[in-house]
Amino acid sequence: MNKKILAILAIIALCSICLTGIVGAAKEGYGFDIATGSTPTFDGAAPAGEWDTDSYKDFLYNGWTMSTSFFRDKWLGAPTEGWLIEVLTDTTNDAGDYFQFSVDTAQDGGATPQADDFLINVTGHPGTVAVFQGTGTGWGASSAVVTTDYIVATSIAASPAGATPHWIIEIFLNKQGAFAMALSGNMRMGAYDASTGQTVMWPPYSSANEPNTYGTGATSFGGSIPEGLTIGVALSLSTIAAIVSTRHFRKKPEI
């Protein structure tokens, strides 16, 4: 009987790994939902109730380790989309800090940025913002993107997620403008802290310069809003389950 239970637990663990994030991710195993929610004020602040009740949430990674820093996103209609990023570990106002947010609007991947790929780059505080478009081999300045296509607002401030003032970034995207995005798009983000030399990103070990490493997005209308559970987390949970079950059901050695 014990062997049968172990076998069942092992199958469940493997299935949880295989099924997590399986829907067409550019980087296998990493996907996010675009939840529907109310429109926040894009001012670089995150007061209680503005994001935490009606948006999807997932975490940034330091290497393969999930950090406490996170992002939230939601569909605002029309169609427009909003993003909140809180880098809880970056509490200093360094000119060398930078944040990158890149999207693959056609969800077609690629080894290099294509014309349907865009990069928003924020340097320093409150932040110098530049927008780039894929050229087929790299990134180039985009004359098509205008100020009505996006809003980027940042601050070093406290929030319900962290009492210590930290880097908060809010992004608004107009999907009907130059970005010409469909309901869903692939995404990658990364934040560099000049004071520590640490970069946190999502997905882990991804690159803005390689759309094949982005995570895939899917728009969800209505229903409950889950928090992200990427394959790295599923693997950890499955490993713990396997260890616990093995220790619990292992036959005691004879003396």
- Residue 217, pLDDT score: 82
Nearest by Cα to 36 from 227, 222, 226: 222
Write out the two tokens for 72: 């939230």
CATH number for the region 25-224 comes to 2.60.40.1190
- Residue 12, pLDDT score: 41
Angle formed by the axes of helices 2-19 and 231-249, to 10°?
Answer: 180
For residue 6, give Cα distances in angstroms to 28, 239, 247. Answer: 28, 13, 10
Per DSSP, the residues of 180-210 read ---S--EEEEEEEETTTTEEEEESTT--TT-
Element holding 146 (H helix, E strand) = none
Domain boundaries, the chain: 1-20+229-255, 25-224
| Predicted TM-score of the model (pTM) | 0.79
Write out the two tokens for 25: 């991710």
The low-confidence residues of the chain, meaning pLDDT below 50, are 5-25, 223-224, 231-255
